[in-house]
Structure 1
Amino acid sequence: MERHEFGVAVRQLRESTAPATVGLPVGRRRVQGLRREELGDLAGMSADYVRRLEQGRSHPSAGVVHAIARALRIGRAEYERLCALAGYAAADGQVPNEIGPGALRLLERFTDTPMFVSDAAMNLVAVNSAFLALGHWNLTGNPWEWNIAWRTFCDPFSGFQQSAADATDHEAVLAARLRSALLRYPADASLAALVDEMRSRSGLFDTLWRTPRPVAAYESSAAFLHPDGAAVTLVGSLLTIPGDDLSALMLTAAPRSADAARLAEIVDAAGEPTIIRVGQPGPG
């Protein structure tokens, strides 16, 4: 059954891969996605072997799984799924932090909406200028200053205020996501160090780690205090980008509200929309 499911997954990925995304000419095509011969050439195997894999008549080695994943340029989550279907552990235990085309499209299309993209360890990977325009994210000098969970539990923002109910939901999501990340990436030393440090620094986080709260909602409201003294209340909605194991958080105001008008003023004052790649110790 696993061999059959692996073959089905490879065929679906092959047929959904645009030739241009793997460096092949488009031209006129009678088939959807890549041909078996093209996948074979890219992965260093014969088209017949690709056919036998897709039909469940051959069991791939770990190297073959890696070669197919590399040839199709799939994200971390899809690579892990192929490994699991083939009966192997993923070769790389590090949290991926490369921003993919899907995440970039979100940032490019919602320029007037404060948004950031984070990896599975809750490190910011990229933000748009609308998010930075809120002016609440101050650098502290801590090694994890661009980690959302660290800033929430160990070094809270002075310009970010939530009700008790919203804070409870927000904290539960962060702790649950870090726990899930550590299970998926047990070899990531930086992630393990982050969790250990947070458990020693924050009694609340340590309690949540030992006794997790159920996640009630993947969105919460907060008031952002702008440096000019005015506040704007926004709702953060979490979106997953599974192919790259990334997440995007969009901050929106109630339509036609005073907060919506205030947000528009803040974003307009920020000037030309831009996307900023984020690293440590700050934006790069």
Structure 2
Amino acid sequence: MEQHEFGAAVRHLRESTAPESVGLPAGGRRTRGLRREELGELAGMSADYVRRLEQGRSHPSAGVVKAIARGLRVGRGDYERLCALAGYAASDGTVPTQMGPGATRLLERFSDTPMFVSDAAMNLVAVNSAFLALGHWDLPGDPWDWNIAWRTFVDPFESFQQSAADADDHQAVLVTQLRNALLRYPGDAALAALVDELRTRSRRFDALWRAPRPVQAFESSATFVRPRGESVTLVGNLLAIPGEDLAALMLTAAPRSDDAARLAELVSEADGSTVVKVGQLGPG
């Protein structure tokens, strides 16, 4: 990775860190986040060295990466990403699959919006009852049936329909996510096997893997066809869950549209728990 990517990530984390979250006073600040001097003090290095790192003029050691992560008190996901950008494998190199309280609260608080949580390998970890109300995801059978990339490139759902442009965007996001995951978790044998199998079974995936498309926005539109033939068109936005290296996909309809009315009707008929954890048979 280019050094400026690591530097940009450090600067973003520094500017996004609330001073009080790392034990510093919050008052009397002209800019958001931490100053370089404060990060340097927390991480045991000079402000000038922090500046050189952020400008891509110095390459960090593994110890420096750990010191910065410790100083900013970042979660596992951000630490893994810093390691990857600096060219180091994280300690165990396997995809975390545990859903923490942050992801659980997200699903609970948006109970009227179809959502699911996936891990870095694109396995479903949990869904909410609004997502189940779409009647989209059937029961697992093959080893990777809970894997979003697998169900997109190898075994797609008939009930999930996209335009060519939206399908291109959706596929590009999935390939980008898996490339990043393989970089962060080189020791995850199941993840590597999934990528190899996808490249073997799908020409489209292999082409995107060899020449990935730039991702402009982590969103795309799709039409979900219900068992009785009625359909609802929703836009999916992929949101990172900081600290847990998980992601949430939120499906929404255009405000005051017929799709919004149909979605509200479907959700009102949903039964069961607000959050449903699903079994993972794929990598992770």
TM range (shorter): 0.7 to 0.9
Given that 1:136 and 1:158 are in contact with CA atoms closer than 8 Å, whether structure 2 keeps it comes out as: no
Deviations 1:127-173 (A, max 9, x none): 10110111111134110111100000000001110111111111111
* 1:198-209 superposed matches below 5 A: 198-209=198-209
TM-score by length of 1: 0.74
Residues 184/191 of structure 1: CA separation in 2 closer, same or farther (3 Å cut): same
Residue of structure 1 in register with 2:235 after alignment: 235
Residue 125 of structure 2: SS of its match in structure 1?
A: strand
2:30 aligned with 1:56:
no
Given that 2:95 and 2:185 are in contact with CA atoms closer than 8 Å, whether structure 1 keeps it comes out as: yes
Residues 56/151 of structure 1: CA separation in 2 closer, same or farther (3 Å cut): same
C-alpha RMSD of the superposition: 3.6
Deviations 1:81-112 (A, max 9, x none): 67689996421100111212222221111000
Given that 1:114 and 1:129 are in contact with CA atoms closer than 8 Å, whether structure 2 keeps it comes out as: yes
Residue 251 of structure 1: SS of its match in structure 2?
A: strand
- Deviation, 1:222, is 0.7
**Identity over aligned pairs, percent:** 66
Deviations 1:223-260 (A, max 9, x none): 10112221011111111113211111100011111111
- Deviation, 1:80, is 3.1
- Deviation, 1:203, is 1.0
Residue of structure 2 in register with 1:252 after alignment: 252
Amino acid at match of 2:110: F
Question: Residues of 2 paired with 1:231 and 1:85: CA distance?
Answer: 42
Residue of structure 2 in register with 1:16 after alignment: 21
Amino acid at match of 1:111: S
Give unpaired runs (5+ residues) of structure 2.
1-5, 27-39, 47-60
Question: Residues of 1 paired with 2:44 and 2:227: CA distance?
Answer: 61
Give unpaired runs (5+ residues) of structure 1.
19-30, 34-50
In the alignment of these two chains, the number of paired residues is 245
Residue of structure 1 in register with 2:93 after alignment: 93
- Runs (4 or more) in structure 1 with deviation over 6 Å come to 84-88
Question: Residues of 1 paired with 2:268 and 2:184: CA distance?
Answer: 40
Instruction: Between 206-215 and 128-137, report the one with greater CA deviation.
Output: 206-215
TM-score by length of 2: 0.74
Question: Residues of 1 paired with 2:266 and 2:140: CA distance?
Answer: 24
Residue of structure 2 in register with 1:133 after alignment: 133
- Deviation, 1:53, is 6.3
Given that 1:133 and 1:267 are in contact with CA atoms closer than 8 Å, whether structure 2 keeps it comes out as: yes
Residue of structure 1 in register with 2:266 after alignment: 266
Given that 1:111 and 1:273 are in contact with CA atoms closer than 8 Å, whether structure 2 keeps it comes out as: no
Amino acid at match of 2:211: T
Question: Residues of 1 paired with 2:124 and 2:133: CA distance?
Answer: 16
Given that 2:83 and 2:184 are in contact with CA atoms closer than 8 Å, whether structure 1 keeps it comes out as: no
Residue of structure 2 in register with 1:43 after alignment: none
Residues 14/211 of structure 1: CA separation in 2 closer, same or farther (3 Å cut): same
